[in-house]
Structure 1
């Protein structure tokens, strides 16, 4: 008689533990889903972007204005650097290259 009660008690405890364990995982699966109003990435990738920002000052531009600005930037010659600035850039690049091979030097 006592063994039957003990077995029933263990089965009851096991059932309750299983139910609590499974029910705690159900909510975690629901929380992991994105909100319903969120647009899927596949849809966003297939959309055509018709508005842009200026690479110069970040102002919003229409597609036509953006194309015109890109054409102007391509035809304009790059700005000329003074020899002093060009020399400084060259020295900075050499210093960065040397730091990769000799990181313990502090120059």
Structure 2
């Protein structure tokens, strides 16, 4: 039994076709080596696309647009005092229910 499995395994191992080395000019050659991630991380990006209309931009134009968008998003929301106090009380209630779950707060 052991001889039979040894023979079968040797046939399977030796019978598998080994692919020949592909020549550089051959269209069936292997996929070219990937660029290492370390090299990609060190490359400087000099072009970008606008997040608004997807137009190509230079690096300086992209930086200016990014700062303008960030400044526009920093406008504080205008809420009435009543809404602010209600939100504050809701946050306090949630905190108290988390810390003191045994007190019945509705």
TM bucket normalised to smaller: 0.3 to 0.5
TM, length-normalised to structure 1: 0.41
More helix by share: 1
